[in-house]
Structure 1
Amino acid sequence: MAEPLGETIWGGPTKRFFVSMLTRDIELRDAILDLIDNCVDGATRQLKGKLKGARPYDGYIAHLTLSNKSFDISDNCGGIPQAAIKDAFLLGRPKVEQNIPTIGMYGIGMKRAIFKIGEEASVESYAADGAFHVSYTRDWLDPENDEWDLPIETVRNKKQKGVTVVIPTLRPDVARQFGNATFINGLRTAISEHFGYLIQKGFSIHVNGEALRPRTLQLFSTNSPKHIGIRPYDFESDDDGVHIRVTVGFYRPLVRIEEIDEEAERPHETEQAGISVICNDRLVLLNDITIKTGWGDGGVPKYHPQFRGIAGFIIFSTDHPEKLPISTTKRDLDVGTDLFLHARRFCMEGLRECTEFTNKWKGMEDEASKFFGEAKRQDVRTEVALAAKHGTAVRGDKTARKLSAGLPIPEKRNPMRRISFTRKEDVVRKVSTHLFGEPDEKPSNVGQECFDRMLKASKK
């Protein structure tokens, strides 16, 4: 056994790790979402976690302005109080904040976003007990510079309390992306999806002067669970201080057989198929169609285009963010946790019900469409509460309630069957001329006419 030397060696991080390496673990878009997360957390602290009512965040706003020259984000969410200044600028949080429904546990979001986006930056905070300015200079952000002290100075306070992050000089690759309209539009969409439920609750987000609208999931649901029709599977429970909600159903009618190939080539822009995961009102995983959320496991078939109408949510809500099954980037899951596996099990129940319904009505989508016509699309988070209102108890879990979808079953099966084959173009044109008097009729119509004539002959 080696004898101790009685000395110590430095075991801390290097500037290069944080400035150059840690930023590789996060996409540019996600770094910006981190900054908005901080704004929301500020508003939540101002509300002291009292988030009752439909729109508790009314009046709170975050403004983002970005171009190929610069980036800034400002809010009116209360600022950073004096007691929290040191922790706010540490690279890592010494302790997890309790009694607030956040997803910020690691204390690296704002700093990593600054490192990702710019070559220099400043942070200004205006709080009830004081105002200050912190600078990230080019020298400080140099990976070769191991100086960690940040210059801070007090500034004159303002009436509006909040935080402003200004990045006047962008990294070259970031400048290129910020100058691309496709990136800006994608960012708007990502913000509308990621913060959709917070926007519904009153939090306002503007990008380059445009107020964003929430993008949230709506599923078909009948008004009464006693009525046979289309409604989602719904489950909820409480597990060690975390409220779990699982809802799986149909956001659109069944895909007809003849539509499958066509839609695979040209998917709808509003495609919402798959399971999304929300943690404390932030979207962590969007429209997943993999084994991660149960597809292709435990009796659930692998995702197929015929299941394109199926969508749903796994939702976790808690004032103890360290219990949430999320990664440091806040955009991926720790799928091995007991909490997530527990929720996933009920998600799979919902997927089995919906995929079985799809299979039973395969080839009879027109007959099934009447049930969708009798239902209406409702917002999953704000309008659907089937388990809470009508659910039954779940064995082994006193806090849990669930309501199966109870989807309709065909009385008599006489499904449609697809006939598909190919022939050389000159032959198809010849048959088209024979049947229609012209060679350019659609091949599908040529095939249909051939079948109809043979069917008529078979009945004689």
Structure 2
Amino acid sequence: MKSEHDIIDATPSKRIYRSIIADYGLNTAISELIDNVIDSRKRRKFKRKIKVIIQIGTDDQTILIRDDAGGIREEDLSKLISPGQSHSDGESPSIGIFGVGSKRAAVALARDIRISTRYSTEDTSFSVEYDDEWLKDETWLLPCYKIPDLPSNTTEILLSRLRLHISEEDCSKLHEHLCYTYAHFIEDEVIEITLNGATVNPLFFDKWAYPIGAEPREFTRRFKPEGHDLRILFKITSGVTYEQGSVGGNYGVYIYCNERLIVSASKAPEYGFQTGVAGVPHPRMSNARIIVELTGGAARLPWNSSKTGLNYNHEVFKAIREDIHTAVKNATALSKRLQPDFETSVEPYKAGTVVCSNLRDDEHLKPSKLPEIPKARKTIQVTISELNKKVGIEKPWTVGAYESVIAVETIKKQHNLKQRNRILLIILDSTLEIAFKDYLAHEVTQPMGQGQLTALFNNRIDVNARVKQTVYPSDGALWSKVDYFYKMRCELVHKRVSVSISDQDIEEYEKLTTKLLSEMYGLSFPNT
């Protein structure tokens, strides 16, 4: 038999507020307050768009947030400050559940807090105020004031004596954060947000590329987490994006819970960026993107209490982890294969259709349902070297000629070189000049000796004419081009004003060079 011994006082300490101040920044705290507005609209079953106005004074260091989401009843004012009190039952697809978010967000931002509100059907406006002094006192009693009328349906939060200094740059970052975090709600006209007079517009991460056979894939399934009765809607979309990224850039995993962005561009090992799955983050993965969307009762989703990440031990995350790993592995492999030829393999394919499929409730995503990874393309160096390996062994003097073409192809991809075409012109013309000398020394019926070659090479036009006797002798247009590009090279080297060299000039000269090398030595080049 058990008998009652005593009563334990379980009233929470106000230290619950102060202990989380370091966990909240400007973006996180403002988002908590906006979450409350969105949930209030849903709870009140409003059909109209809710307006949120945010004013941040970088001079006086204050924050004012006003919304028209219905206001707060007089009997519910305690929910503004009491930890754990919340309107959410956890079963609806809301974005607030824990009953502490807005309270600790306000405390995390400011030492002085004033919340004023007028419920839609009430004639009176009320205000509550609290500060650091109240937080030091363990009593939970707090005076409530009647104030001059606010507009009906309005709640206004004024935060002053901010804990962290807020700059214009911080406001700019907050604006971008809100654009991404609430993109779905803004686009669906659930909410309208302005920050310092600037409208927050929706920004999504759907800049997909649609290479043939490697289009983005979307999969949807519903499942019941272990021990739960209600199902969770799970959607995952993966592929490559035409937005260029980097190791620290905007590629990786994005996760929405009930349409709110929770995780952005994560490359955490738990999502598959680890040895044995996709591998550790690498620049060649920088076009991979994976978007996960979870919809269900707020209490059943795996987000943490600040909605800045997932609980990896949650049964829902465990149920979808394998699918995320499969999608991450495929998308990063696609990126690594396509990224070296981004300009031709990814960037041009900005239009197309996402391939959508449904999975059974108990079915996991299989690699066979995702795009096949293209076979590795040989680099231009390997391709040209393999094509001419035999010739290079039989005629060692040809190796320098075809390796010069490899150098040209390599430099052509270096778009950061401001004088790239100048370098290429010099390489191509020098390649032909040396190749002509070697041709006259090794390939003609009566090879020329060193003395003859030295005398001849004092005049390049004569060299061209001598080679022309046996190489394309009747193609006057071809040899006119050879002379033209030689004179362009001379202008570049000897004149005081640099000659203009276009990409088209380089393409034409490279084709001319490889054609002559093929004819003189039997060398082979791609696309010739």
Does the TM-score normalized on the shorter chain lie above 0.5? Answer: yes
Give the secondary structure class of the aligned counterpart of 1:127.
Answer: coil
Give the secondary structure class of the aligned counterpart of 1:113.
Answer: helix
Q: Counterparts of 1:417 and 1:312 in 2: how far apart (Å)?
A: 33
Task: Give the alignment of 1:169-248 within 5 angstroms.
Answer: 169-171=160-162, 173-174=163-164, 176-177=165-166, 180-202=167-189, 203-220=191-208, 228-240=212-224, 241-248=231-238
* Native 8 Å contact 1:80 1:127 kept in 2: yes
Q: Deviations over 1:124-152 (max 9, x none)?
A: 22223424423223475342x11211212
Q: Counterparts of 1:328 and 1:166 in 2: how far apart (Å)?
A: 24
Give 1:31's match in structure 2, choosing from 25, 29, 34: 29
Q: Counterparts of 2:323 and 2:5 in 1: how far apart (Å)?
A: 56
Residue 118 (str. 1) matches residue 110 (str. 2):
yes
Give 1:409's match in structure 2, choosing from 371, 374, 381: 374
TM-fit CA distance, 1:94 = 6.7
Distance 1:21 1:393, change over 3 A: closer
Q: Deviations over 1:63-95 (max 9, x none)?
A: 011114221111111122356443343112378
Give 1:355's match in structure 2, choosing from 305, 317, 332: 332
* Native 8 Å contact 2:252 2:265 kept in 1: yes
TM-fit CA distance, 1:116 = 1.6
- Letter of the structure 2 residue corresponding to residue 414 of structure 1: K
TM-fit CA distance, 1:4 = 10
Q: Counterparts of 2:196 and 2:340 in 1: how far apart (Å)?
A: 48
Q: Counterparts of 2:139 and 2:161 in 1: how far apart (Å)?
A: 22
Further displaced range: 25-34 or 228-237 = 228-237
TM-fit CA distance, 1:362 = 5.9
TM-fit CA distance, 1:305 = 0.8
Give 2:362's match in structure 1, choosing from 391, 396, 412: 396
Q: Deviations over 1:87-124 (max 9, x none)?
A: 34311237852453222121112211221222222212
- Letter of the structure 1 residue corresponding to residue 378 of structure 2: N
TM-fit CA distance, 1:317 = 0.9
- Letter of the structure 2 residue corresponding to residue 237 of structure 1: R
Distance 1:157 1:181, change over 3 A: closer
Q: Counterparts of 1:402 and 1:125 in 2: how far apart (Å)?
A: 53
Q: Counterparts of 2:7 and 2:234 in 1: how far apart (Å)?
A: 47
Q: Which residue of 2 aligns with 1:149?
A: 141
Distance 1:298 1:336, change over 3 A: farther
Q: Counterparts of 2:102 and 2:292 in 1: how far apart (Å)?
A: 27
Residue 127 (str. 1) matches residue 103 (str. 2):
no
Further displaced range: 212-221 or 69-78 = 212-221
Task: Give the alignment of 1:254-265 within 5 angstroms.
Answer: none
Q: Counterparts of 2:69 and 2:366 in 1: how far apart (Å)?
A: 36
TM-fit CA distance, 1:316 = 0.8
Distance 1:103 1:360, change over 3 A: same
Distance 1:355 1:448, change over 3 A: farther
Distance 1:31 1:404, change over 3 A: same
TM-fit CA distance, 1:21 = 1.6
TM-fit CA distance, 1:158 = 5.4
Q: Which residue of 2 aligns with 1:326?
A: 303
RCO comparison, higher one (Cα < 8 Å, 6+): 1
Q: Counterparts of 2:324 and 2:429 in 1: how far apart (Å)?
A: 44
Q: Counterparts of 2:351 and 2:418 in 1: how far apart (Å)?
A: 39
Which segments of 5 or more consecutive residues in structure 2 lack a partner in the other structure? 225-230, 383-416, 439-516, 522-528
TM-fit CA distance, 1:159 = 5.2
Q: Deviations over 1:290-346 (max 9, x none)?
A: 21321225432222111111112111111x111111111111210122211332322
Q: Deviations over 1:39-59 (max 9, x none)?
A: 1111121227xxxxxxx6x52
Distance 1:407 1:444, change over 3 A: farther
Considering only aligned residues, what root-mean-square deviation do their CA atoms show, in Å? Answer: 3.7
Q: Which residue of 2 aligns with 1:368?
A: 345
Residue 252 (str. 1) matches residue 218 (str. 2):
no
Structure 1 segments of 4+ aligned residues over 6 angstroms from their partners: 400-403
Q: Counterparts of 2:19 and 2:361 in 1: how far apart (Å)?
A: 48
Q: Counterparts of 2:56 and 2:94 in 1: how far apart (Å)?
A: 26
Task: Give the alignment of 1:328-347 within 5 angstroms.
Answer: 328-347=305-324
TM-fit CA distance, 1:251 = 1.8
Distance 1:298 1:121, change over 3 A: same
Distance 1:417 1:357, change over 3 A: farther
TM-fit CA distance, 1:397 = 3.6
- Letter of the structure 2 residue corresponding to residue 207 of structure 1: L
Give the secondary structure class of the aligned counterpart of 1:150.
Answer: coil
TM-fit CA distance, 1:407 = 5.2
Q: Counterparts of 2:373 and 2:3 in 1: how far apart (Å)?
A: 74
Q: Which residue of 2 aligns with 1:304?
A: 282
Q: Counterparts of 2:315 and 2:99 in 1: how far apart (Å)?
A: 24
TM-fit CA distance, 1:187 = 0.8
Query: How does the TM-score come out when normalised to structure 2?
Result: 0.65
Give the secondary structure class of the aligned counterpart of 2:328.
Answer: helix
TM-fit CA distance, 1:236 = 1.2
Q: Deviations over 1:163-182 (max 9, x none)?
A: 11122x323x43x22xx111
Q: Counterparts of 1:392 and 1:138 in 2: how far apart (Å)?
A: 52
Give the secondary structure class of the aligned counterpart of 1:285.
Answer: strand
Residue 136 (str. 1) matches residue 114 (str. 2):
no
Give 1:283's match in structure 2, choosing from 245, 261, 277: 261
Give the secondary structure class of the aligned counterpart of 1:340.
Answer: helix
More strand per residue: 1 or 2? 1
Q: Counterparts of 1:182 and 1:333 in 2: how far apart (Å)?
A: 28
Q: Counterparts of 1:395 and 1:450 in 2: how far apart (Å)?
A: 62
Q: Counterparts of 1:393 and 1:317 in 2: how far apart (Å)?
A: 16
Distance 1:221 1:252, change over 3 A: closer
* Native 8 Å contact 1:231 1:405 kept in 2: no
More helix per residue: 1 or 2? 2
Q: Counterparts of 1:445 and 1:4 in 2: how far apart (Å)?
A: 94
Count of aligned pairs between the two proteins = 392
Q: Which residue of 1 aligns with 2:38?
A: 40
Distance 1:404 1:170, change over 3 A: farther
Q: Counterparts of 2:307 and 2:361 in 1: how far apart (Å)?
A: 33
Q: Which residue of 1 aligns with 2:53?
A: 63
- Letter of the structure 1 residue corresponding to residue 222 of structure 2: D
Give the secondary structure class of the aligned counterpart of 1:61.
Answer: strand
